[in-house]
């Protein structure tokens, strides 16, 4: 049984490759192509912090020191973690990660931290209760806000330009008025059409499940029934502006997900202010950990979530603009693996007809 406790899945080592062709390709990339470490300062537009450590608290603190924000001049910080289902990590946020995040935010000036969520598989408060979140919140002095408890007037309908949502979607008004938001997801594959869960997909837990003026209308049913699901996820992400986003990849699903699946243990945490760069790194890490179709074998920036996020200008537009910021030698070795995967795309960009060299 997997770590989430839901369904059958075998834990596999982080070094699993999965296919000889992938291993050969990765070695060729590392030998044939310039690594992203060698980029000039003008090329780099997004830094991705990377820490390989078994100590989640230390890893979170290192990521905040490396990526920021250095200070939070805010009386109120809203924290969106990952409690979309009732199963344990890696299906949801690990309690040590949640504790580390709250303490790191407090050290940087957050006066009050409120955990916000709208679970997709069950009622949020029931999910929290089953995972011990209320007890931990009391110990941390953290507030809890289950978004389905908001009054109808607390929601605002938005419709991003050229959106694939038929009638838009609804978001909490307080997150549309300059609120300080920090997002923290758990990296994993996603078998229900999203392909993977990362920083962009984390935003789905911030929108309403049902329309305020038509309770019978279910936004999530529209999402999961659409051929444009991955693009719609990026459109939701476009209305939020987190100051930093973290991904816990200490353990990940490399098949199945989001609530259960086969587990690998990269032992890594990632963070960035650029969600496109962060998710590109996350996809590369899933592939290097053994994830198969549809993530393996295709272009990272061709994934629907990432491609649509690029169109919406939510972050960088190519792999060549990513620079990893590994914390030590162990972290650097992981970064080199991810750079080898992303270097295929960076080279492909240079070889496009008419592209600047």
Average pLDDT, the chain: 87
pLDDT for the residue numbered 298: 79
pLDDT at 274: 97
The C-alpha atoms of residue 186 and residue 279 are separated, in whole angstroms, by 11
Token pair for 292: 């198969």
Q: In this prediction, what percent of the chain has a pLDDT beyond 90?
A: 76
Q: At 249, is the pLDDT very low, low, confident or very high (cuts 50, 70, 90)? A: very high
Assess if CATH 1.10.600.10 describes domain 49-317: no
Residue in 315, 320, 335, 336 with CA at minimum distance from that of residue 272: 315
Q: Which residue has the higher pLDDT, 237 or 177?
A: 237
Q: Say if residues 108 and 70 touch (Cβ distance below 8 Å).
A: yes
Calculate mean pLDDT across residues 298-313.
93
Whose tokens are 């990026």? That residue is 234
Tens digit of each residue's pLDDT (9 = 90 or more) over 151-179: 999 999 999 889 999 999 999 999 988 89
Q: Which of 60-74, 94-108, 255-269 has the lowest mean pLDDT?
A: 60-74
Mean local confidence (pLDDT), 235-247: 97
Q: With contact defined as beta carbons under 8 Å apart, do 85 and 117 qualify?
A: no
Q: What is the pLDDT of residue 89?
A: 96
| Domain residue extents for the chain | 49-317
Q: What is the pLDDT of residue 1?
A: 41
Task: Say yes or no to pLDDT of 45 above 90.
Answer: no
Collapsing DSSP to helix, strand or coil, 298 comes out as: coil
Amino acid 353: pLDDT: 34
Query: Tokens at residue 125, please?
Result: 């408060």
Instruction: Summarize the confidence of residues 175-202 as an average pLDDT.
Output: 94
Indicate whether 356 pLDDT > 50: no
Residue 36 above 60 pLDDT? no
* Residue 279 falls in which region: left (phi positive, over 0), alpha (psi -120 to 50) or beta: alpha
Burial (0-12, 13-18, 19+ Cβ within 10 Å), 202: buried
Q: What is the pLDDT of residue 223?
A: 96
Separate counts of helices (H) and strands (E) for the chain = 10, 16
Contact of 94 with 56, CB cutoff 8 Å: yes
Strands 210-211 and 261-264: unpaired
């Amino acid at each position: 049984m997997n770590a989430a406790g839901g369904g059958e899945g075998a834990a596999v080592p982080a070094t699993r490759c999965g296919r000889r062709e992938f291993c050969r390709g990765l070695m060729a990339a590392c030998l044939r192509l310039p690594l992203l470490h060698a980029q000039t300062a003008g090329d780099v537009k997004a830094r991705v912090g990377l820490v390989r450590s078994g100590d989640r608290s230390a890893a979170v603190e290192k990521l905040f020191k490396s990526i920021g924000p250095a200070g939070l001049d805010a009386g109120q910080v809203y924290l969106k973690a990952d409690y979309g289902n009732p199963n344990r990590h890696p299906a949801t946020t690990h309690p040590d990660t949640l504790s580390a995040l709250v303490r790191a935010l407090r050290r940087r000036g957050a006066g009050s931290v409120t955990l916000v969520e709208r679970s997709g598989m069950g009622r949020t408060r029931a999910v929290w209760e089953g995972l011990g979140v209320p007890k931990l919140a009391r110990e941390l002095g953290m507030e809890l806000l289950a978004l389905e408890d908001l009054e109808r007037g607390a929601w605002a309908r938005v419709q991003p330009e050229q959106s694939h949502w038929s009638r838009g979607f609804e978001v909490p008004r307080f997150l549309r008025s300059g609120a300080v938001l920090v997002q923290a997801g758990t990296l994993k594959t996603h078998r229900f059409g999203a392909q993977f869960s990362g920083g962009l997909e984390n935003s789905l837990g911030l929108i309403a499940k049902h329309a305020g003026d038509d309770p019978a209308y279910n936004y999530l049913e529209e999402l999961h029934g659409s051929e444009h699901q991955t693009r719609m996820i990026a459109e939701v992400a476009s209305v939020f502006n987190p100051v930093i986003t973290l991904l816990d990849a200490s353990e990940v699903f490399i098949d199945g997900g989001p609530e259960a699946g086969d587990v690998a243990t990269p032992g890594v945490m990632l963070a960035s202010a650029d969600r496109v760069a962060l998710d590109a790194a996350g996809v590369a890490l899933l592939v290097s950990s053994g994830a198969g179709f549809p993530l393996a074998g295709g272009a990272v920036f061709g994934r629907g979530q990432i491609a649509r996020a690029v169109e919406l200008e939510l972050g960088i537009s190519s792999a060549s603009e990513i620079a990893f910021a590994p914390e030590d030698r162990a972290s650097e070795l992981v970064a080199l693996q991810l750079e080898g995967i992303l270097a295929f795309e960076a080279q492909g960009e240079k070889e496009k007809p008419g592209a600047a060299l």
